[in-house]
Amino acid sequence: MKFEGQVALVTGASRGIGEATAVALAAEGAHVVLTGRDTKALERVEERIYDAGGSATIAPVDLVEPDGIARLASAVQDRWGKLDMLVINAAILPELTSVADIDQRAFNKALTTNVLSTQALIANFDPLLKKSADARVIGMTTTVAQAPRAYWGAYGATKAAFEVLLDCYAQEVAKVSKIRVAIVNPGATRTAMRARAYPGEAPASVKPPEVVADRVVGLLTEDFASPHRETVNQPQ
């Protein structure tokens, strides 16, 4: 198995790309820490992993809680003493609206989840990542972070800031650690977030989350230059 003896943490692991990635990592031997807000959904994913012969631990946490990420990092430190893979997948999609009509409360929540929690994850898990022999950080982004689109301003702005944080972090650790950072754009994928954004779209017309998960697993086995960027395209 590719990741036997390694510990991976996946945010937003209760469904969609996060769930598929967690299952794929566990199938390759990683012990996966499943984080998210929905405890029952996390338990379902954990059971799915165990039924397939893998191992996982659920860690229900709301990333907007001031101390939630710090408590999570402390628990990982106490149990495993390191972190080999961090997949930052959790994100909030605010209502699609013009910039002039953005709801400030919803925007603040998206900023907290998509940007501030990313910095908190890096701050709290950086010491544990540096204890790994070959640590990897994967951040899931979106096309509108670099190609702005009308009515996607709130979400695009948060993900653009998300990318800048990861890019800067990659440069900061490149020469002082073995940590490598990749920013992955999953592209059009069959998720609940996608369904909200494109309610008239036929789900079968876009790729399932497992395609993205397979590519993430593949990327995690590669010796890529950091920071690395790529988009997961629709299978032909």
User: What structural domains and CATH numbers belong to the chain?
Assistant: 7-231 (3.40.50.720)
Helices 16-27, 39-51: crossing angle, 10 deg rounding? 30
- How crowded is residue 150: how many other Cβ atoms within 10 Å of its Cβ? 9
Alpha carbons 134 and 136: distance in angstroms, whole number: 7
pLDDT for the residue 14: 96
> How much is the average pLDDT of 112-138?
97
> How much is the average pLDDT of 115-136?
97
pLDDT for the residue 192: 94
> How much is the average pLDDT of 220-229?
95
Structure tokens at 96: 């699609």
Average confidence score pLDDT of the chain? 96
pLDDT for the residue 68: 94
Alpha carbons 163 and 169: distance in angstroms, whole number: 10
pLDDT tens-place string over residues 144-179: 999 999 999 999 999 999 999 999 999 999 999 999
Q: Name, in order, each residue with C-beta under 8 angstroms of 134's C-beta and a sequence gap of 6 or more.
A: 84, 178
pLDDT tens-place string over residues 34-88: 999 999 999 999 999 999 999 999 999 998 887 999 999 999 999 999 999 999 9
